[in-house]
A and B are shown apart, each in its own frame.
Chain A
Amino acid sequence: MNQESHRNLNIVERPLIKQKPEKTVLSLSAFAYLYSELIQYNIDKSANTTELEERLDKVGYEIGLRINELLSCREKTLRRRTEILDILKFIHSTVWPAFFGKNADDLQQAAAAEDEYMISDYDMKFTKFISVPRSYGSFNPGALVAGIVRGVLDSAGFPARVSAHTVEDRERSRKPITTILVKFHSVVMTRQLYIEKVKKG
């Protein structure tokens, strides 16, 4: 009877939270294989690395749109985030654990520009098994994650240009750090200035 009623429910009426907590995980290998197939499929369809990154970004964008709704739905306080730091903290402390099981490692504002922020991950799980040959130049497989971040920001009302970069770090074990660079649109910046002005009174 239970299964029948489950089937007859509209998809938006089905429960969001999985019934058994142990079912919220599966192997990283499965994900890595799937991601590698995605990249291989897109390599044939792309003329250059920029187009490849764009295609991966689009796939990530769709993921980001949906994960934002999913995570916001599950939150205890349903409050819309209107400030830049709030949404970035949401990404750092809620979106990252949903995907990677831990908070993002670093959240910084770029020194040069006010509208640029950087989210860093010292050891990105999704790209752990990917090595980029020299002929691919500056291609970064973190483009999927950049797309996810762009999707989350866009569906939260913060349009931005997001890209993934690799930064060498000599202090830590020689693994390169993946940094997601977020550059907000001017719309967001003017809105942020307005909010701050109103707050000051």
Chain B
Amino acid sequence: MRGAPTFRTAPLELTSAEAFTLMYGSIVRQLISDFEDISEVNKQLDQMGYNIGIRLIDEYLVKTRNARCNSFRETAEAIAKQALHMFLNFQATVAKWNLDETECSLIFYENPFSDFVELPDEYRELKFCNILCGVIRGALEMINVDVECAWLQDMLKGDDCNEVRLKLKEYRNENFPYKDDD
């Protein structure tokens, strides 16, 4: 019987977490001042996250020489326990699976993106840490796993925890740009 996958990571160079938090806050502020519409800001954050994710997956795969994940469950565990810890120094727990095992929630209490942040009432619609959703979506898309990623609960808005819902859409086939007979 196969045991649970062991997670080994090569240590990454470190920097101050506060610098990261302040930088992210400053970026969100710049986006808010550029766009009038808060939903535009949310979209932009998601897009930025997507751009980061498609490059981040390479680094993740190189630094952790994991075998291929056999199921979506393993993928979710890898994200929650290994990737989040490796890059952002915190871990999430995976919970609330649906019957098909195609949907789950990542639940975490500490969030380096929003450490010193208080969300005023006029920005109720703002998904402050939306970039994280984009990163997960982009990273998984590059390994042919299409997911939808959304925030269900946000501690900035007074909820008990941060909850990100992952929905598996499909596994895509590997597309090669060149045909064999050319």
Contact = CB atoms under 8 A, between A and B. Distances in A.
Given A7-B158, A29-B12, A55-B30, A23 B17 contact: yes
A29 B26 contact: no
B17 A26 contact: yes
- Chain B interface SS verdict (over half): helix
Contacts of A38: 23, 27, 30
Contacts of B16: 24-25, 98-101
Interface in B46-60: 48, 51-52, 55-56, 59
A190 B131 CA distance: 46
Contacts of A3: 160
B18 interface: yes
Interface stretch (B67-75, B85-93, B168-176): B85-93
Question: Which among A26, A60, A66 has the greatest number of chain B C-beta atoms within 10 A?
Answer: A26
Interface string B3-23: 000000000111111111011
A194 interface: no
B27 A59 contact: yes
Interface string A29-42: 11101111110110
A58 B31 CA distance: 12
B19 A31 contact: yes
Contact of B15 (A25, A36, A37, A60): A25
A190 to B, nearest CB: 32
B29 interface: yes
Contact of B29 (A28, A30, A34, A62): A62
A22 B118 CA distance: 24
A29 B27 contact: no
A125 B64 CA distance: 23
B87 A27 contact: yes
Interface residues of B, number: 40
Contacts of A70: 18
A90 B23 CA distance: 20
A58 B26 CA distance: 9
Interface of A: 3, 7, 11, 18, 22-31, 33-38, 40-41, 45, 55, 58-60, 62-63, 66-67, 70, 98-101, 125, 144
- Top 10 nearest A-B pairs (CB, nearest first) are A27-B12, A11-B118, A26-B89, A25-B14, A28-B13, A62-B26, A33-B52, A37-B48, A28-B15, A63-B22
21 contacts: A11-B116, A18-B17, A25-B15, A25-B89, A26-B20, A26-B87, A27-B15, A29-B59, A31-B23, A35-B23, A36-B52, A37-B48, A37-B51, A41-B31, A41-B48, A63-B22, A67-B19, A67-B22, A99-B19, A101-B16, A144-B23
